[in-house]
């Protein structure tokens, strides 16, 4: 296959401006790679071709195609249990929703990606999620939170030795980043912006992720509820309902686009909150309280 060597090089440099210098050539190679990988049953290269083409479609503003490509890649990696790639696909889908101005969906997808990647300790991917979350919260008017996230992401990127500029890492138009930062500066005094940025930079990685996963005022406006009287979070309630439905952990993971490990953690947390020792008792609680 004559394209194979060039396809591999194109895949290797996909995250750099070098790969984007000839978008038409890159897309042609990735499309050829996708067809060949599918034909050969190579699920690794199939995923990468889908992911690269999804990023290309996003850059071109073809959000419907980008969504379809990322969703296919996500399904493939769910079947393989590849948490890192699942998180990457969730990031790609979140970016599409952000560009569509669906901030609620973008926040949900980013937090799912962060929860997955936190478990796996993939620091570069965490920085990527934090950067995009900073953009989304800026658009939601949360200037102080956004500035803090920008600072945290920059510090994390520096700690892991990533020399690439944020727009390259994010596959985001630099003008969007400038606009997000300008929106934050317009809402905050110079001193308040600097303080929020420095607070983010001072966070450990775990602190930054916890901050990113915490509820925001934007979430409060976007979601009808966040906590139930039982003390369960919205996600734990969703998991409990699926447990009561008789779903296995793997089926719950597929339904909610989570890793099995994350589902297991949610089940342990909700059982502790409702005083259940196993799935049967958790189901009984759900039925008794009308949650199922």
Q: How far apart are CA 216 and CA 142, in angstroms?
A: 8
User: Going by C-beta distance under 8 Å and a sequence separation of 6 or more, which residues neighbour residue 265?
Assistant: none
Q: How far apart are CA 251 and CA 142, in angstroms?
A: 35
What would the DSSP string read from start to end of 111-124? HHHHHHHHHHT-HH
Per-residue pLDDT of the chain (292 residues; tens, 9 = 90+): 444 545 555 554 444 444 455 677 777 888 888 888 888 888 888 888 899 899 889 988 999 999 999 999 999 888 888 888 999 999 999 999 999 999 989 998 998 899 888 878 788 889 899 999 999 999 999 888 899 899 999 898 888 776 665 555 567 888 888 999 999 999 988 888 889 898 888 888 888 888 888 755 445 444 433 334 567 888 888 899 888 888 889 999 999 888 888 899 999 989 888 888 888 778 777 766 667 6
> Strand runs (DSSP E) across the chain, as ranges?
none
Domains of the chain plus CATH, in order, are 1-81 (1.25.40.10), 103-222 (no CATH), 234-289 (1.10.10.10)
Structure tokens that stand for 215 in this block: 């509820």
3 state DSSP class of 268:
helix
């Amino acid at each position: 296959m004559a394209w194979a060597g060039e396809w591999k090089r194109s895949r290797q440099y996909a995250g750099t401006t070098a790969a984007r210098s000839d978008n038409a050539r890159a897309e042609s190679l990735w499309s050829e790679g996708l067809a060949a990988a599918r034909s050969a049953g190579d699920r690794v290269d199939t995923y990468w071709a889908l992911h690269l083409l999804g990023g290309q479609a996003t850059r071109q503003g073809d959000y419907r195609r980008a969504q379809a490509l990322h969703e296919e890649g996500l399904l493939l990696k769910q079947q393989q249990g590849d948490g890192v790639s699942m998180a990457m696909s969730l990031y790609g889908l979140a970016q599409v929703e952000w560009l569509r101005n669906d901030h609620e969906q973008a926040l949900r997808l980013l937090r799912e990606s962060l929860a997955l990647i936190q478990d796996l300790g993939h620091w570069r991917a965490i920085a990527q999620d934090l950067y995009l979350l900073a953009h989304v919260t800026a658009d939601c008017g949360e200037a102080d939170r956004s500035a803090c996230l920008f600072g945290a992401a920059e510090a994390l990127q520096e700690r892991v030795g990533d020399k690439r500029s944020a727009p390259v890492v994010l596959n985001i138009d630099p003008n969007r980043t400038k606009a997000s930062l300008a929106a934050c500066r317009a809402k905050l005094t110079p001193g308040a912006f600097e303080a929020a940025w420095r607070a983010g930079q001072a966070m450990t990685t775990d602190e930054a992720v916890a901050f990113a996963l915490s509820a925001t005022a934007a979430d409060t406006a976007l979601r009808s509820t966040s906590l139930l009287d039982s003390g369960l979070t919205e996600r734990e309630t969703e998991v409990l309902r699926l447990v009561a439905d008789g779903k296995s952990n793997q089926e719950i993971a597929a339904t909610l686009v989570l890793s099995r490990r994350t589902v297991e953690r949610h089940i342990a947390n909700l059982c502790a909150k409702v005083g259940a020792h196993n799935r049967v008792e958790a189901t009984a609680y759900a039925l008794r309280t009308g949650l199922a």
